[in-house]
Amino acid sequence: MKEVVQVDHFSFTYQDAKAPSLRDVSLTVREGEFLCVVGANGAGKTTLCNSLVGLIPHYFSGSSEGYVRVNGADTAHSSVADLSNYIGLVFQNPFNQLTYASGTVAEELAYGLGNRGISRDEMRRRVKLVSQLMHIEDLLDRDPLELSGGQVQRVAFGSTFIMEPNILVLDECTTQLDPLGASEIFEIVKQLNAEGVTVIMVDHDMERVVQYADTVVVMDAGRVVLSGSPKGVFALSDLGRYGIDAPEYVKLSKGLEKNGLANGDLAITYDESVAMAKKALER
């Protein structure tokens, strides 16, 4: 399948920083893949996200080696505006995402479309669609500055989805949402992924990562140290040295096996774990 993102021996050091934030990172993402990036804070996850959408090197200055290509275009030689035709980023802190140049949520949602010269009718159609999807229809006339953290996060999602990118980059983007609200947004992301959108997601919630990821990439101190299927990666017992914790489901599988209640299979999702527990009850 087509490779939509190619990171090749890419290193980046922020201006005035003593050490590189990314070190010789190589990574490819196939069209339609759901890839999750995990690692301790400071591992370089956000720097990678910023590199994929062109904020590095166009907004954050520093020195780099290697290259990042998105849909074949070298990010160093494409503007952030051009890249935004293919790739959209939902920021870690939603308050950093909004332009605040708009008086209402509706204008905020349409801001990117305005810059792209989309017609008024099309803007209205997409604002309606996205606000329904994100359940923010009743916020459209509100001032973005008056919203709660969870509401701002929904608007931030909406303002990215509305650009209809074929690659979505999500950087710990549901930290302000209640658990069911977060699940609801991930179901929307999963739906978009099923329709062909490529997803690159950074998250600390390992149960969520195993639920959605086709591929898990582990980062540590600016490097990619592991990459593989969720089952392959989380079966490893020494993940602690990269500052990450195994999903609860994996810990349960291993605990059941240790106590003679399972046969060594690894359950990595809720459904698999329930099936394994039911079997343990019957043994």
Partner 1 sequence: MRIELRDVCYGYQPERQVLRHINLCFDGNQSVAIIGQNGAGKTTLAKHLNGILRPTQGSLLIDGTDICDWTTAQWSSRVGYVFQNPDDQLFLGSVREEFSFGPRNIGMDEAAIGRRITKVAALTGLQDKLDAHPSDLSPTEKKFCGIGAVVMMNPDAVVFDEPTCGQDHAGNARLHRLIAELKHEGKMCLAISHDMKFVAANFDRVVAIRKGEVLLDSTPEDVFSQTDTLRESFVAPPPITRVAQGAGLADTVFSVDQFIEAIRNTRSK
Q: Does 249 bind partner 1 (CB under 8 A)?
A: yes
Question: Any contact of residue 179 with partner 1 (CB under 8 A)?
Answer: yes
Beta bridge partners of 223: 220
In the complex, the smallest distance separating the C-beta of residue 256 from partner 1, rounded to whole angstroms, is 7
- Rounded to the nearest whole angstrom, what is the least distance from the CB of residue 278 to partner 1 in the complex? 5
Beta carbon of residue 96, minimum distance to partner 1 (angstroms, whole number): 10
Q: Which stretch binds partner 1 (CB under 8 A): 37-45, 64-72, 126-134, 185-193?
A: 37-45
Strand, coil or helix: 223: strand
Residue 60 to residues 55, 80, 172, 238, 273, Cα–Cα distance (Å): 6, 12, 20, 34, 43
Any contact of residue 141 with partner 1 (CB under 8 A)? no
Q: Considering CB under 8 A, how many residues would be counted as binding partner 1? A: 45
Contact criterion met (CB below 8 Å) for 109 and 133: no
Residues 185/152, Cβ–Cβ less than 8 Å: no
Tell me how crowded residue 96 is: count the other CB atoms within 10 A of its CB: 8
Contacting residue, 74, 82, 122, 178, with partner 1 by CB under 8 A:
178
Q: Is 203 in the site for partner 1 (CB under 8 A)?
A: no
Is the four-CA dihedral 42, 43, 49, 51 of positive or negative sign?
positive
If binding is defined by CB under 8 A, does position 15 make contact with partner 1? Answer: no
Contact flags string 254-273 toward partner 1, x per CB under 8 A: xxx--x-x--------x--x
Choose between 62 and 150: whose C-beta lies nearer to partner 1: 150
- Which residues contact partner 1 (rule: CB under 8 A)? 39-42, 92-93, 95, 148-151, 172, 175-183, 204, 207, 240, 243-245, 247-249, 251-252, 254-256, 259, 261, 270, 273-274, 277-278, 280-281, 283
